[in-house]
Structure 1
Amino acid sequence: MTPPSMRKDAARNRQCILDVARRLIDEGTPLQLNDIARLAGVGVATTYRHFPTPEALMETVATPGLEALITRAEQALTEEDPWGALTGFLGTTLTMQLTDPSITLVRAAPEHVLPRTRELTATLDALAGRLLKRAQAAGSVQGVVTWDDLLPLMCGIAYAAGVHADGQEERLDSGRRYLGVMLRGLRS
C-alpha cells in the first residue's frame, strides 16, 4: 500500500524496493537494505527513507497477507460448523505461511516495529482466539488449548514443512500432514 500523498517517482521507488524485498524473501535471502537499494536501482538513502529497518520492510511486505488472513478469519466466524471453521482457517493460514515466507517471519518475530503490523497481528490473534473458543464451546477442541499455544505450533509446522521438503507442492503436502497430526491432537 502506497501512502496517499506520495509523488509518482517516490511511489515507483517504493514499489521497486518492495518488489526486490518480496523476491529476496521468497528466495530465503535475509533483507539487507544496502543490497536492496542496489538491486532496486535506487539510492541507499531512498531505501532507508521508505523503510528505516529490514524489519519495517519485512512487515510491509507481509501486510497484504496478514490482511488476507484477517478476512479469512472473519469469514470463518460466520460458518456454522465451529470445528470446520477453525480447521479451514488453520489450513488457509498454513498455506499462506508456506507460499509467503514473510507471514511466518513476521508472525514468529518477538516484536513488531510498525504500528500497522501490531494492529494487524492483534486483530488476527483475537479472531483466531474466537475461532478456537467457538470450537471449544461446541466440544470439538480440548479446553486446555489456547491460541497462544497454537500460534507457535503453526509457525513450527511451516518451518518443519520448509525444512523437510524441496518443492512447493512437497512443502504443502508435508505441511498438511503435520497440520493433520496437530488437529488430531486438538480434537476432544
Structure 2
Amino acid sequence: MTSAPMRKDAARNRQRIVDVARQLVDEGTPLQLNDVARRVGVGVATVYRHFPTPEALMETVAAPGLEALVARAERALTEEDPWNALADFLDVTLEAQLTDPSLTIVRAAPDRVLPRTEELTATLDSLAGQLLDRARAAGAVRGVVTWDDLLPLMCGLAFAAQVHADDDETRRETGRRYLGVMLRGLRG
C-alpha cells in the first residue's frame, strides 16, 4: 500500500517546520514542538501531524547531513590509500559535526525514532567500519580499535571543540588538533 501524495500546502508547512527547526538547532536552541509551531505560524497540531516527537524532527533535520556522510564514506572506500581514506573521512565527519549540531545530537542519541535515520546510521556505521577494517588490514591502524570505539570518540571530539572555542574557525582548528591527536594514537 502506498500513501497518498502530500497536499501542496501540507508539504509547504512541513518544509517550513523543518526550516525553522534547522534554524533553532543551528542557534543551539532545544527543539520544542510548541515553539516551532509558534515560529512557523501554524497550530501545534500541524507540527505534531508531521513530527510526533522532537526526536523525529531532529532526525529529519539531520538526514541531509547523514546522507552526505554516507556518500562521502562510499567515495572513501574507492580511494587507493586506506589510511588516507579513513583519516580524510574522519576529518570530513568532524567538520560536519562542528557545522551541523544535529548530527552529533542524533549520533549520540541512544535510539532512532525514524526508520530512515536507522537505515542511514546503520549504513554509515557499516561503511565507516569497512574503512577502519581496510586501514587495519593494510597495517595502518592498531588492531584493537573498532568503529564502536571511534564513534563515541568522534562525538567527544566535536563536543570538546564546541566547549573549548567561542567561534566557528577556532572550533574547527581545535577540532582538527584534537582529531590529529586521535589519529596519531590510531596509527599502527
Q: TM-score, normalised by structure 1?
A: 0.98
Structure 1: state its 5+ residue gaps.
none
Match of 1:16 in 2: 16
Structure 2: state its 5+ residue gaps.
none
CA distance in 2 between partners of 1:12 and 1:166 (Å): 35
Match of 1:6 in 2: 6
Match of 2:186 in 1: 186
Residue 57, structure 1, aligned to residue 57, structure 2: yes
CA distance in 2 between partners of 1:175 and 1:6 (Å): 41
CA distance in 2 between partners of 1:90 and 1:163 (Å): 20
CA distance in 2 between partners of 1:81 and 1:57 (Å): 38
Deviations 1:154-185 (CA, angstroms, capped at 9, x unpaired)? 00000000000011111000000000000000
CA distance in 2 between partners of 1:76 and 1:15 (Å): 31
Match of 1:126 in 2: 126
CA distance in 2 between partners of 1:43 and 1:121 (Å): 32
The 1:181/1:41 distance shift into structure 2, 3 A limit, reads same
CA distance in 1 between partners of 2:42 and 2:49 (Å): 11
Match of 1:106 in 2: 106
CA distance in 2 between partners of 1:187 and 1:121 (Å): 25
CA distance in 2 between partners of 1:6 and 1:102 (Å): 26
CA distance in 2 between partners of 1:23 and 1:164 (Å): 23
Number of residues of Structure 1 aligned to a counterpart in Structure 2? 186
CA distance in 1 between partners of 2:91 and 2:138 (Å): 20
Match of 2:148 in 1: 148
Match of 1:34 in 2: 34
Shift of 1:4: 7.8
Q: TM-score, normalised by structure 2?
A: 0.98
Q: Which runs of 4+ in 1 moved over 2 A?
A: none
CA distance in 1 between partners of 2:119 and 2:16 (Å): 26
Any residues of structure 2 matched to 1:85-100 within 5 Å, and which? 85-100=85-100
Match of 1:117 in 2: 117
CA distance in 1 between partners of 2:184 and 2:108 (Å): 23
Shift of 1:23: 0.5
Deviations 1:1-23 (CA, angstroms, capped at 9, x unpaired)? xx981111001101111111001
- RMSD, matched Cα: 0.9
Match of 1:177 in 2: 177
Give SS of 1:179's match.
helix
